[in-house]
Structure 1
Amino acid sequence: MHNGGMTPRVTRRRALAAAAAAGLGLPAAAEAATTPSRHRGQFQNLRVATYNVSLNRAQEGQLLTDLATGEDPQIRAVAEIIQLNNPDVLLLNEFDHDEDARGVDLFREKYLEVSQHGKSPVFYPYTYTAPVNTGVPSGLDLNRDGTVGGPDDAWGFGEFPGQYGMVVLSRHPILTDEVRTFQELRWADMPSNLLPTEFYGPEISPQLRLSSKSHWDVPVRVGSRTLHVLAAHPTPPSFDGPEKRNQRRNSDEIRLWADYLSPGQRSRWIVDDAGTRGGLAAREQFVILGDLNADPVDGDSWPGAIDQLLDHPRVQDTAPHSEGGTEAAELQGGANAEHTGDPRLDTADFNDAPVPGNLRVDYVLPSRTLQVVSSAVYWPRQGEPGSELTGQYPFPTSDHRLVRVDLQIQS
């Protein structure tokens, strides 16, 4: 089950291109990132990024159609941002999943591996994608409206199976046989959970899945070391009634990783889709990636939701930031004027009236054992190169910004 839909294929052309990438003229924004063949002493530089690309479509198969042309303006702009930032390992959120993973191949072949407005192509010989809960019918009345069917009654909100999916792209080998997925993990199995059983009732509550999309532990081999990419995209803590079911689910989806990083009894309840129990060993290095839909101080999150990771003893927060985030908050006003968080840390440009305003919701959180060189949110100020790619509503790419952290991995 957990290997369904993955794409471990590596073409000779892509492998050679990735190996030769060190010889390419890199864009100025990507100069700090080195490619896999470049070493400094016993350490290897690695740029890791997350990007909610908003490559979701209203109808099943529409993204494949758009990808096949090689000319879709939004997809070209998304690819250009990726080329500018040049990450070595990248998580894409909101990339519609298809059963054969053809969309991932089309995105690489027709967009990433083609220069966008003079930017250097990027090559990712290794990819991973798998089914998600969005749009998968539950057969239950999850929104309690008296009928069964539709996006609100799917295991994760979605118009069709795979909408708002996820993809991991990597220049380094993905250890596909060691990937762990948690698509079917039951919410009720989490001890001391926030599940609103009074809303769902005794029949539905035990069946609910915790992850609105999925949670993946994707091991990536960097030199002689393994880096665990912990990928997720929890549900937004909004569109709720008084039961706050989405706020609660978002917080517990975030807590899943917090428990996973706590070896022993705290992670004993976690069982992956292959039936293996337990969390990540204390000696393992990791980076948490994703649109986690939770701001530390602003927005509608359940109290302390993201703090479960930011304050975790195994996690370091490098606080990636931008000047563009500050400028946007000042120019847009509205809800932003009432925020108490630092706007430099914002990663998403949301509606400013009446709520929620711009928020920090996208995260790259390395383990404390990793050496951090730098970090950033790709959000240029107006008039700066690249600002035409981020823009304002209606966005040329996404309402989210790419977030990156540069690491040094002992090899």
Structure 2
Amino acid sequence: MAQISHVDPDILILANIDYDHGHAALTELNAQLAETIAPYPHRFTARPNTGLSTPFDIDGDGRTGRPRDAQGYGLFSGDGGMAILSRKPILSDQIRDLSTILWKDLPDARLPQTGNQPFFSEDILNVQRVSTTAHWIIPIDAGPRTIELLVFHASPPVFDGPEDRNGLRNADEIRLWQLFLNGKLPEKPAHPVILSGVVNLDPVDGQGRKKAIHDLLAHPSLQDPEPRSDGGKAAADLDHRGDPALDTADWPDGDPGNLRVDYILPDRSLTVENAGIFWPDPLPPDLFGEDGQAAGPHRIVWVDLKLP
């Protein structure tokens, strides 16, 4: 809460916020933020795939009804969802939700295998969505023109077996946006975009299929403002090869260490005036807690944009 108030963005994308049908949690958060900064009169959230139960043994451990057997990992439906708070009007009647796309229906989907056999049964393939949490297209009336937020929270490419189920899913969740931008899906961009979310893939360090994030960062429709922080540079992992100033998350136990896993990638038609990661050095305990983890391992990534 204190960190959000310090950064004070006009549009706030929240990840790992539990979803409830009446939006009570988001309403209360919004009310508390309004006590310290200008209010957010516009908001959006929807039921995520996290915790959405299936009747199948999705992870192949011989049991059903467990967190990894849901559409996306979750202890309950709505566990760790997403939400948008905005001072600019959200064009709710134009929101598009790609979260129900089946993994098998994604063009050129790379589905997990064990040996030369499919990891998923036909029944699972007929229900398994590619989105761990959600893929949303959120139009924002930004004054001179409309922009579209492309928002998602991808699966971490770990916590699986030799079939690399989560690694492959993470890569295809990222690739879904590339297909969208390339006009390869039924839904297509209608306005300049800002792609943002917890991508859970570092271009250099940590696990995962690096080609997915390299291809996204190199997409001709997008630009990478490369937000930086002094705190990330000061907390560098000596065994990592990536620029630590670009890291956006701090896992203090050293595994996987600090990584760049959170991104804001604006449309090339938009002018980036400034960008950064709220990770000061030293960390003020009143904002980050004595252990530096008051708001979890992820830091706030921000970008100031000028619209044409």
- TM-score tier after normalising by the smaller chain length: over 0.9
Aligned partner of 2:211 among 304, 324, 327: 304
Contact 1:287 / 1:365 at 8 angstroms: preserved in 2? yes
Contact 1:381 / 1:387 at 8 angstroms: preserved in 2? no
Aligned partner of 2:201 among 290, 294, 297: 294
Q: Corresponding residue for 2:304?
A: 406
Contact 1:232 / 1:292 at 8 angstroms: preserved in 2? yes
Q: Which has the higher helix share?
A: 1
Greater relative contact order: 1 or 2 (C-alpha under 8 angstroms, separation 6 or more)?
Answer: 1
Aligned partner of 1:377 among 267, 277, 280: 277
Contact 1:183 / 1:214 at 8 angstroms: preserved in 2? yes
Deviation at 1:363, TM superposition (A): 0.6
2:276 counterpart letter in structure 1 = A
Deviation at 1:392, TM superposition (A): 6.5
Aligned partner of 2:8 among 86, 93, 115: 86
Partner Cα distance (2:73, 2:290) in 1: 26
2:188 counterpart letter in structure 1 = G
Q: Corresponding residue for 1:159?
A: 75
Aligned partner of 2:122 among 202, 212, 225: 202
TM-score by length of 2: 0.95
Contact 1:235 / 1:250 at 8 angstroms: preserved in 2? yes
Q: Corresponding residue for 1:112?
A: 33
State yes or no: 1:350 paired with 2:271. Answer: no
Q: Corresponding residue for 2:192?
A: 285
The SS at the match of 2:75 is: coil
Partner Cα distance (1:307, 1:206) in 2: 30
2:305 counterpart letter in structure 1 = L
Contact 1:133 / 1:162 at 8 angstroms: preserved in 2? yes
Deviation at 1:403, TM superposition (A): 0.3
Deviation at 1:205, TM superposition (A): 2.3
Partner Cα distance (1:125, 1:316) in 2: 29
Contact 2:103 / 2:109 at 8 angstroms: preserved in 1? yes
Partner Cα distance (1:371, 1:298) in 2: 29
Flag the structure with larger Rg: 1
Q: Cα–Cα, structure 1 residues 392 and 143, in superposed 2: closer, same or farther, change >3 Å?
A: farther
- After superposition, give the CA deviation of every residue in 1:276-307 in whole Å (9 maximum; x if it has no partner): x23214xx211011111010111111131211
1:207 counterpart letter in structure 2 = V
Q: Corresponding residue for 1:169?
A: 85
Contact 1:210 / 1:249 at 8 angstroms: preserved in 2? yes
Share of identical aligned residues, percent? Answer: 41
1:364 counterpart letter in structure 2 = I
Contact 2:223 / 2:266 at 8 angstroms: preserved in 1? yes
Contact 1:261 / 1:314 at 8 angstroms: preserved in 2? yes
Deviation at 1:224, TM superposition (A): 3.5
Structure 1 regions of 5+ residues with no counterpart? 1-78, 116-120, 269-276, 330-335
State yes or no: 1:251 paired with 2:171. Answer: yes
Alignment of 1:39-118 (within 5 A): 79-109=1-31, 111-115=32-36
Q: Corresponding residue for 2:158?
A: 238
Q: Cα–Cα, structure 1 residues 89 and 394, in superposed 2: closer, same or farther, change >3 Å?
A: closer
Deviation at 1:391, TM superposition (A): 5.0
Contact 2:202 / 2:210 at 8 angstroms: preserved in 1? no
Contact 1:348 / 1:359 at 8 angstroms: preserved in 2? yes
TM-score by length of 1: 0.72
The SS at the match of 1:97 is: coil
Contact 1:297 / 1:340 at 8 angstroms: preserved in 2? yes
State yes or no: 1:326 paired with 2:233. Answer: yes
Contact 2:202 / 2:213 at 8 angstroms: preserved in 1? yes
Aligned partner of 2:103 among 179, 187, 198: 187
Contact 1:294 / 1:301 at 8 angstroms: preserved in 2? yes
The SS at the match of 2:93 is: helix
- After superposition, give the CA deviation of every residue in 1:334-357 in whole Å (9 maximum; x if it has no partner): xx221110000000001443x211
Q: Cα–Cα, structure 1 residues 168 and 304, in superposed 2: closer, same or farther, change >3 Å?
A: same
The root-mean-square deviation of aligned C-alpha atoms, in Å, is: 1.4
1:171 counterpart letter in structure 2 = R
Contact 1:352 / 1:358 at 8 angstroms: preserved in 2? no
Deviation at 1:396, TM superposition (A): 1.4
